[in-house]
Homo-oligomer: A and B are copies of this chain.
Amino acid sequence: MANRTDGPNLGRRSFLGGAATIGTGAALLGSGAPALAYEGPAPQVDFPEDPRAFGGGPAGTNTRAEIDLYDCEVEGSLPSDLDGAFYRVGPDPQYPKDPKWAGDIPFDGEGHVSMFRIKDGHVDYRTRYAKNQRWKAQHEARRSLFGMYRNHMTDDPSVEGLSRGTANTQLFVHHKKLLVFKEDSPPVAMDPLTLETTDDYYTFGGKLESQTHTAHPKIDPITGEYLSFGYEAGGFLSKDVNVFTADRDGNINWSVTVEAPYAGMMHDFAMTQRHVVLYLTNMAANLPQMEAGGVHFAYDSSLPCYMGVMRRGGDGKDIKWFTGPNMFCTHVMGAWSVGDKVISDWDGGEANQFPFFPQLHEPFDFKKSTGYIRRFTVDLSKKSNDTFQVETIYPEVTGVLSRQDDRFHTLPYRYGYLQGNGGWWMIDHGDKTTQLISVPDYRLSEMTFVPRQPDSDEGDGYLIGIGSSVKEAGRSDLILVDTKRVADGPIARIKMPFKVVGQVHGFWAGAQDIGAKA
């Protein structure tokens, strides 16, 4: 054990109650010193070449660079009245893992946030890592200190007590904060314009009752409330699910905790004007696997998937868990209530969609992983009913990462969007038509809907998202398609001089929400 008195985040960690030895530095702070573990000079930074290893692949696989590019190049015609910011986030490994943990999965990379600030036909690009507790500890130590995906037993002892959150999945602007999410931890708060991290562990003024927070909160377009939940809410392996809402200013105004049938992945959720819809997949937390140094989850097809439904705003005692055909659903396209019926559209496959998580009973089945739009209906009128109905709508449409016009969260909706293999699907539930938007020679990331004006009709606006050039290696464009002129192809392209940092999800916020000057 090294004679090290300058551990990462000494102050915070001491107050959090790190273990062991009293060191000089810690004694000055009047608390226990951090557990001491890593020793020796920080190794040279060299990511593996094997693309199957964590952070592995050819040089440049990980971007890692924090960037300011003022006045990006714009081709085509960027609407001069478009005023807001397109945010994205994805994992971008801060350091290579200790070789023991090189088998870790891509979902464990540290969250790198990027922003395209659009105004007056000009675009400024900025990226910053979410500077959470994990990032700061590793930055100071100049090495990886966290082991396998959501398995604290594999961490360097020096980080005991620190949040393991990576903030790498999705982000959202509400009450003038850019909140960045990883579903195993509370959000990180950033300034929406500067991307400065303002809180490395944001708990809504200490009122958050969960130790976790979904990557997919919603906003109620009627009340302006923030709608959210967390699973494993009571901590490691907890079956607790906390559901809460917060007012326009971020004050939590409703919070209940219910119990799930088991601890498993609940990536997204839905809230309607009257109900809450939870969905528990059989990607179950697996303690023996973690004790053996593995990741948090294993896919267990012997377990049923559950849909949990309860009244919004109630005490949670009415939660009821329904079963039906097993589906591996990840993202909600839209959800609403009609009388006693609760309808929610998800993208999902018949089985596991994440091949990098171990499967307990059978090999990964590519065909069964294929995502379709699944319409779930739960009828609450018959008390004895304990099953839900599933319909696969638009069987010609396959894809993942479903989205909608975010202004129609909680409400009946007409337009949905899905990331297909060959481009972006636009779904019109009114006409029951679908069309695929493809951009030749570009591989498209998830799209986000941008309203033409804050008060435009549903679906009237733009789809925005990153395209990676197939012909120009190492270059990306930000692409804008007018939803009313899809056949015209992209109306504008922001031509980036490099490959932009990768993403899982993106989010659009108008100027009025990000504190921008007029």
Contacts and interface: CB of A to CB of B under 8 A. Distances in A.
Contact of A66 (B67, B495, B496): B67
A47 B72 CA distance: 10
A360 interface: no
A65 B497 contact: yes
A113 to B, nearest CB: 14
A142 to B, nearest CB: 6
A20 interface: no
B65 A122 contact: no
A44 B43 CA distance: 45
Contacts of A68: 65-67
A495 to B, nearest CB: 4
B80 A41 contact: yes
Nearest to A74: B44
B139 A64 contact: no
A75 interface: yes
Interface of A: 41-47, 58-75, 77-78, 80, 95, 120-122, 125, 139, 142, 472-475, 477, 495-499
Count of identical protomers in the assembly: 2
| Interface secondary structure of A, over-half rule | loop
B498 A139 contact: no
Nearest to A49: B75
B70 A67 contact: no
A95 B74 contact: no
A95 B58 CA distance: 33
Contacts of A45: 71-74, 122
A64 B497 contact: yes
A44 B119 CA distance: 11
Nearest to A475: B60
12 contacts: A44-B122, A45-B72, A59-B472, A59-B475, A59-B495, A60-B497, A61-B497, A64-B497, A65-B68, A65-B125, A70-B139, A71-B95
Contacts of A498: 60, 63, 65, 474, 498-499
Contact of A121 (B41, B47, B75, B477): B41
A46 B58 contact: no
Nearest to A125: B65
A480 to B, nearest CB: 13
Contacts of A46: 73-75
A69 B64 contact: yes
A42 B497 contact: no
A129 to B, nearest CB: 9
A70 B477 CA distance: 25
A142 B124 CA distance: 11
Nearest to A492: B44
Contacts of A122: 42, 44-45, 142
A306 to B, nearest CB: 42
A139 B65 CA distance: 23
A63 B122 CA distance: 17
B473 A42 contact: no
A89 to B, nearest CB: 18
